[in-house]
Structure 1
Amino acid sequence: MCGSGYQVIDSATLTANGIRQGRVYLLYNTGNGYNCVVTLKDTNVGRATTVSAYLEVQGKTRSTDSGAFQYYAGPVRASAAAACVKWGGSTGGASYGSPFEHCG
């Protein structure tokens, strides 16, 4: 979803009431120094429900993709070479937000 050259460097499971609602992924492209975040749904797939994904490069404004989507939110991309990032997302009443990490 992020495009060619991106590889998953981290992920988090989104769980609410003991049920896996989805997963949020952080990807990085070594070729261009961009990070990318995508949140994939595990429940209500094909039905428009609230999903979000965000990426914040330290010292810059947070970028967010949020709305009623059938399958996923994102991709949210930002140049993050030589910087730390906060990333996360939500779906099905479950959310994840990282501290600043993956400093490059």
Structure 2
Amino acid sequence: MRISRSVLSVTAVTALALGTATALAAPASAAPGTTPEKVCGSGYKTVNSAAVGSRGTVYLTYNAATGKNCVATIRSTPGTATDMSAWIYVPDTEAYDEDYGQYTSYAGPTYVYGKAHCVDWGGGIGNVNVQITGSNCAAMKEHRVTTTG
């Protein structure tokens, strides 16, 4: 019986250590099939998006219950870690959040309170960056810029 308990104890400690290492890993290690709703969390729905060249898409989501916007940049094909970013800014309130780093699947989530405000947002993968200004402002036309370099 002691052998069984010892084996179970070692197995439990190993599983706990692996689980802790996984929990502390960068959030961009997501499996294929990652969605902006999975990255941003429960209650967020996609309200806008922009292609980041052929490398992926940056998404603007909104949670009507909290009034918060979230941005996530998701690669088309996860792979070797590369520079990625996601950011959001509310000019009226100067609220800003960003995530930048070397990721394998996605950057973000980034959050700001944006209810009844225009938002600027964007993201990048490698050397391709997208910036959207004046977004989700009712009749105002947004402006999109994609840069490579």
What residue is the counterpart of 2:116 in the other structure? 82
- Paired residue type of 2:125: T
Q: Tell me the CA shift for residue 58 of structure 1.
A: 1.6
CA–CA distance in structure 2, aligned partners of residues 39 and 101 of structure 1: 17
Give the Cα separation in 2 of the matches to 1:24 and 1:83: 19
Q: Distance in 2 between matches of 1:80 and 1:62?
A: 10
Q: Is the 8 A contact 2:86 2:124 kept in 1?
A: yes
Aligned residue pair count: 99
CA–CA separation in structure 1 for the residues paired with 2:135 and 2:56: 22
Length-normalised TM-score, structure 1? 0.88
Q: In the alignment, which of 39, 54, 65 is matched to residue 87 of structure 2?
A: 54
| Unaligned residue ranges in structure 2 (runs of 5+) | 1-38, 139-149
More helix by share: 2
- Which 5+ residue runs of structure 1 have no aligned equivalent? none
Q: TM-score, normalised by structure 2?
A: 0.63
Q: Larger Rg: 1 or 2?
A: 2
- 2:60 alignment partner in structure 1: 26
CA drift of 1:92 comes to 2.8
Higher RCO, 1 or 2 (CA under 8 Å, sep at least 6)? 1
Q: SS of the residue aligned with 1:40?
A: strand
Give identity over the alignment, percent.
39
Instruction: Give the root-mean-square deviation of aligned CA atoms.
Output: 1.4
Flag the structure with higher strand content.
Answer: 1
Does the CA contact (< 8 Å) of 1:2 and 1:36 recur in 2? yes
Q: Which runs of 4+ in 1 moved over 2 A?
A: none
Q: Which amino acid aligns with 2:74?
A: L
Q: Which residue of 2 aligns with 1:5?
A: 43
